[in-house]
Structures are given as C-alpha cells and as structure tokens.
Chains A and B, each alone.
Chain A
Amino acid sequence: MQMPQPSASVIGRKDQIVARLSEVLPRDAVISDERETRAYECDALTAYKCPPLCAVLPATTKEVSDVLRICHELGVPVVPRGSGTSLAGGALPTADCVILGVAKMNGVIETNYDDRYIRVQTGRTNLSVTGAVEADGFFYAPDPSSQLACAIAGNIAMNSGGAHCLKYGVTTNNLMGVTMVLMDGTVVEIGGAHLDAGGLDLLGVICGSEGQLGVVTEATLRILHKPEGARPVLMGYDSSEVAGQVVTDIIKAGILPVAIEFMDRPCIEATEAFAKAGYPMCEALLIVEVEGSDAEIDAQLKLIMEIAAKHNPVELREAKDSDEAGRIWLGRKSAFGAMGQINDYMCLDGTIPVSSLPFVLKRISEMSKEFGLDVGNVFHAGDGNMHPLILFDANKPGDLELCEEFGAEILKLCVEVGGCLTGEHGVGIEKRDLMNVQFAPADLEAQMAVKDIFDPAWLLNAAKVFPLDSSQPRRAA
C-alpha cells in the first residue's frame, strides 16, 4: 500500500514543532522520543507501520484546539487516533505527521435519562459508555466487536456498526451532537440534545468522514432502555441458498430480529476445532436473536422456528436459558480467534444485497481455489454486511500481497452485485485504492469538495479514503 512521500521540510522542523506543541501541553502529553513514538506506528491493520513525527495526548478541547492551530500554522499533517483499533488503517501515521490521540479524554460529561442521552468525551471506549448507564437499565446500542477497546472518537470517524444494527442502526443513527475542532483550531458545536439538523445535516457528513474533517472531542449519544431479555436460535442448512431464503422469509414475515448472523462451512469447521461450541457441520449456519419479555421472545421464536422448519434444516436449536444462549453465541464470537489459530488472516468488510449471497459465496469459493488461499465467511445476514476471513502466512514472501489481491477481487465482486466496499470498517488505506471501482471521478470529487471546506489545506488524515492520484493536487497545493 503506497503512502505519500513525507515532507522533508516538516521532518526537518521536528524540534521546532515539538517545542511549539510543548508550550500548550503538559510535558507528558508530548511524545517525541523515537522509542516511544513507535507505540503509535500502526493501528489494528498491523501489516502497515510507520512511526509518526511525534504524538500528542491532549486532555481538553482547548488543548486539541491549541494543537491543531499550531499544526495548521506550521503546515504539519495531523492524524487523529482513538484507541487505534481500526482494521482499515484509519489511524496509520505518516513520518511527517503529529498523531493526535484522544485517549486521555475519557470522561462522562452528563447523563440524562429523561431525555435519553449521554454526553461523553470521545476517548471513552464504546463499552464503557454502556458501562456508565447500565446500572440504571440503559445502554448505548452500536456494538462493534472491538467495543471493549475502541473509542467513541473512532466510532464516529468510521460510523461503526455492530451485530445489532439491524434493529438499532449504526453510529450515525445514534449520534445527536458533537463538539468538533476544525484544523485551524476553531471549536464548533453541532447538534445537541435535540433531534435532526436545523440547517444542512453537517453531523451526518462528519460521522464516517474518517477523521478528515475535524477532531471530535465530545459527543452526545442516544441511550435506550435495555430490552427485558434476548434469546437466540441456531439453525443449520445444507446450502447457503436455503439459508438465504430463510433470512428473507423471516424478514418478510414481519419479524425484525436484533441480529441475524451467518457462518459458512470453513468457518464452522475452524470454530468447532477451536471453541467446541457443538455446531452442526453443514454449509450454512444461522443465529437469529430476538428481544423482549419472555412471552414476547417465545412468540417471535415460535414464528421463526416454524419458518426455519419449513426449509428442512440439518439442525434447529432454541436457547431455553442464558446458558444455552451463551453456547449458541460461543462459536460465532470465537470465529475470528478460531481463524487466527489456523493462520494469519485478513478480515474483509464488503456489503452485498442479501439476495446475492448464494452467488457471492459461490464466487468466493471458486476464487479461493484460484488464489490457493482458504477463506471462511461470517456475515451479518440481516443487513448484507459480510466478513470474509482470508487465511495467509505473513512469514511467507508474497502471501500478504496475494491475500490483498484476493481481498480486492472479493470487494470488487461486492460492488458488482450492487453492494459496497465497506459496511462498517471504513476505507482508511485498506480500500483507498479501490474507491474508483465503486465511484466515478465526479462522485469522489464531490466528496473531496466537502473536505476542501472543512480542511482547505488538506492536513487532516489526508492520505486516507481517496485514491492518492485523485487527492494529489489537493494534498500538494
């Protein structure tokens, strides 16, 4: 993955830049020693590494504003960083950049149950947002798999999803307001404890802009009362076509489960070897979860089981209690770990129209043979977001490149059938050079025009999202 040539002029001014930043930040908030900046050399896309010029850890919106104002004045690129869990390289530094980490800003500013929101500093982790309100029966709905570690700042940057978004939506549907610092240091308040924008929906375009429009330091998030309970069923089928039909029939019957998860045979096999969840060996396994009171759950599961039974399942298992529910989820939740036991893997994130699932799985399996790399598929079947896991050996020369090439072909296939390159991980650097597959030059131009307004000098996370040749004239200007 190519990154732009770092600016020798900026690197040459490192001492001056560090000195200026040290004027506005406490001593321990500026990290410039090369042994320590290495801690920020990558995010969860660990195949790519580059230590930054320096890293700063501001503790307040004012400090963020001071940092950005100075970097703007000195023409220094800035890469914002939440917890560094991006799978797309969204927080990958360049050698001439200042990493702006929000980890120190992790407080709760206000919780309001009457108006059902919480206001937090964005360095707070996703799970600890729920942690702050769960004793009172509330939760924050978006639940990316990395929720134990990932920060709200990164969730907003990537518009993160999760397993339960079929019912609750993704970050953008649960974000009510932000305090954001623009690259020139201006602090703006957008949205708040009320719903919807009065003018243009700036909040809507900020969410998912991958840290390219500003640094969000505080967020107002919608919280909901927890459902009384939730329970899954597990079903196994002999073909992905049939499993796909079951999903369609459930949705068409007017039931809206909170989660519909799909795993294919390679994934089931790996998971069984690793977690021994007792899954049936079959071509397609579905986990469908519904919420409500016990009686409501029973009623919904009865309908779902009737639909499932009509399609001749290999296995049909309903969770009667939380133990059984835990066992049903066990395999799915250990799927990534299980694949990781076998080999290194790359996790893709394309979305497809649900109806294309059988065709796409067939093509992936054919491509798997062509490339000589195994692949397992985990799929949020309700919303079409698939996570093919391609196995490769990082120590074998050429294997990473082969895997990336295979991954790119799968993502192109997702676009071809009417889907998209990324459903919830973001573009970052990982899918940056594939953007031309999904978008015409005019489509990308329109998006870049938005960045022109928020960050005219293209200093914020500028080497991400847009193919380098498309963004080159702007980055060079």
Chain B
Amino acid sequence: MQPKSEEDLSQMIKGANGPLRITGGGTRPIGQCEGEDLSTAAMNGISLYEPGALTIVAGAGTPIAEIEETLAAENQRLAFEPMDHRALLGTKGTPTLGGMAAANVSGPRRISVGACRDFMLGVRFVDGQGTIIKNGGRVMKNVTGYDLVKLMAGSYGTLGVLTEVSLKVLPDVETTATLRLHGLTDRQAVQALSAALGSPFEATGAAHLPKGPDGDPVTMLRIEGFEASIKYRAEKLQALLKPFGAVDVTWDDAAAWTAIRDVTAFADKPGYVWRISAKPSAAPELVAKLDATAVQYDWGGGLIWALADEGRDLRAALSDFDGHATLIRGRADVPAFHPEIPALAAITNGLRAKFDPRGILNPGIMT
C-alpha cells in the first residue's frame, strides 16, 4: 500500500485487517516485523522552507537528499547529521524524512548540537485507529501541551505513521578542521575526547577508532566555524591535548566523518552490528567486556559501534550498565531493542495499546 495523502492513509489503516509493515525508503530495516507493506514514499515534498526562521516542513516520504539539497542552496543543513544506513545494512532505496524521524537517526554532531529528536519541531501522524493527529508545530519554542513529537521520534512507527515532519535547521559552516591523535589506548582516547568536549572550544565531532585506516589507533576531533576561529581553536586544542601526544590538523576531511557517521568500516564485514549508548567514561570498560571483532567510538565515547559474532546477544556481556544496546544489523534470534525494566515496559506497552489498540503498526518491531 502506498497512500498519497493523509486521508488515504487514514482510510487504509481503518480498513486494515492485519499487521502493517511501515516503510519510508526501506533503507533501515532495524528490528523485525511481519505484515503488509505500507510505504509513506508517496506523501512527499517540501511544503515550507523559511531560511530566515531556520525551519523546514516536508512530507514523511520526502527523500533526505532532497531536503539536504534544498538546504544547501541556502547554505543551511541538518545539523544532527543523520546517518545513512545503506552501506552498513546493505540496503538500496532512498532514505526518507519519516524513516529518519521514526528511528531518531543522528550522526557524530549529536554530541554537540543534539539528536534528530532535538531538531524535530512538529509532526503529523495517523494512529492505529486511523485518527489524524498533529503535535508541535513549525516554531522553535513551543511548550503548548505534551511533547508527542519526542514520543514519535524513535518510536519506529509503533504509535502512528508519520505523514509530515517539521525540523529546525542550522546555518552551514564556512570551514571545518579535523584534529587527529595517534596511538592512544581506548581509555586515553576517551579521556582526550572528554578534555576537548569539556573545553570552551566546541568540538562537533569526537571519535576514536582503535584500528584506524592504517590499522593503528586514531582519535579524531572536528571543529567547525569561521576560518579565523577554527585556526584559533585548533591551536588551543593542540595545547590542551599535548599530554596525549602530537595533534595533526587537516582542513575539511568531510569524508572521514561521513565514514564514521555511516560506520562504513563494518559495511562489508560479516557479523552482527551493535549500537551501544553509554556513559562515555565507562565505554572502554564496556568494550573490554564485549569480546567484539571490531569497535568504533563516537560521541566522545558515549556511542559504541561493535561488530560481533552472529547470534550472540552482547547484552549478556554488558550486564547492568548506564545505557542501552540496539542490534542494528542481525537476525530475529536476538532481540533488536534493549529490554526495559518492568515499570517502564508497562508504560511503553500502555502507550502502544492506547495509540494502536489493535496492535497492527509494526507489531513487535521494538522488542
């Protein structure tokens, strides 16, 4: 099914007599569920873009590429840097706005500017009974009623099918520099990244590759802004990080950050791919427990990407920790989403039952 409008979609959901498997561009098959395909691809197009107000509104099926091109023409961008999952998951198709929002997809800049959910200003969606609902709006400051926009972000279609999303956008930057430290242990690397992120010099990327492109550890920081400011901050950071060794500075180097964003290092390697959100300083210890084939740290250590044996649930090795682990690439033999404690599971299940009483929207995908 491919509804062309919100009303169409509402009718289709009302008339559905079995589970629906909701897709945007189908590039992020995270979690497993069965059902008749329902694509939002035809509800597309940018309906409003006000560069002076830093706001864009578009249909859920709008390709992210179209949004990024439109923004680039006005020298603006999606600051949260949404990951493109295609290489990692071996999918084809076109990543869409709705898919990005439903999976709350961000990238390395999340550590400084916030996640996709922080940039979502408003949504329109159709719930499991076919009711059309709007929440939030197109303005940046809005506390009118409950923030269902956040609830929809990362709900993987289980509360409703997104039809429209409004986003806050930000100006693009004049200059980017990448700072690299070499040969650090994971623990040293996270300490170095913490020192930089805890400074006034505004790093917008903070990653560590225990095995970089040459097989040796590389620790990376990104700074962005006007050229004079970048030069100044690069010098300050070099001085600050001196205890960790020499710091190379490369101008631009967007490709290196795209590779981190998209975790391309794991793309053609077999194994399950895990995404673990953790307290940064605890990350090296957690990684030591994982017995993973390969890892990559982003968000100053707060985001661990791990490549591990097929069929293994890494959560067993992590036991109880401050954070959560999601299986991004794997099969149904391991639950994709982190189990919730009973009191929260009761709330989550209660909310799903309210918004989708028949349990037909991506049933079971978030377990």
Contact = CB atoms under 8 A, between A and B. Distances in A.
Given A193-B279, A380-B141, A255 B171 contact: yes
B110 interface: yes
Contacts of B173: 254
B183 interface: no
A4 interface: no
B185 interface: no
A199 B340 contact: yes
B262 to A, nearest CB: 18
A86 B110 CA distance: 31
B354 A208 contact: no
A443 interface: yes
A256 B147 CA distance: 25
Given A192-B322, A420-B137, A450 B146 contact: yes
Nearest to B337: A199
A253 B323 CA distance: 39
B354 A453 contact: yes
A198 B337 contact: yes
A161 B144 CA distance: 13
B51 interface: yes
A444 interface: yes
A427 B52 contact: no
B298 to A, nearest CB: 10
B52 A247 contact: yes
Interface in A271-306: 292-293, 295-296, 299-300
Interface string A410-440: 0000000011111111110001000100111
A409 to B, nearest CB: 17
Contacts of B325: 198
Q: Which of A200, A295, A425, A444 has the most CB of B within 10 A?
A: A200
A202 B55 contact: no
A385 B51 CA distance: 17
Nearest to A466: B145
A225 B194 CA distance: 11
A82 interface: no
A353 B138 CA distance: 7
A400 B216 CA distance: 71
B118 interface: yes
Size class of the contact patch on chain B? 35 or more
Nearest to A136: B198
Given A227-B200, A419-B139, A115 B279 contact: yes
Given A292-B229, A353-B55, A446-B355, A201 B104 contact: yes
B171 A256 contact: yes
Size class of the contact patch on chain A? 35 or more
B351 A453 contact: yes
B52 A355 contact: yes
Contacts of A170: 141, 143
A226 interface: yes
A399 interface: no
B138 A418 contact: yes
A440 B142 CA distance: 17
Interface string B186-204: 0000010010011110000
Given A196-B104, A254-B172, 15 more contacts: A114-B281, A172-B118, A172-B147, A198-B277, A199-B324, A204-B117, A256-B170, A296-B232, A353-B50, A384-B139, A385-B140, A418-B137, A418-B139, A453-B351, A454-B347
15 contacts: A159-B143, A173-B114, A188-B344, A188-B347, A198-B326, A205-B150, A254-B172, A299-B228, A383-B139, A418-B138, A420-B142, A435-B144, A442-B132, A451-B146, A453-B350
Interface of B: 50-55, 74-75, 104, 106, 110-111, 114-115, 117-118, 127, 131-135, 137-151, 153-155, 158-159, 170-174, 191, 194, 197-200, 225-226, 228-229, 232, 277-282, 299, 302-303, 322-326, 337-338, 340-341, 343-344, 347-348, 350-351, 354-355, 366
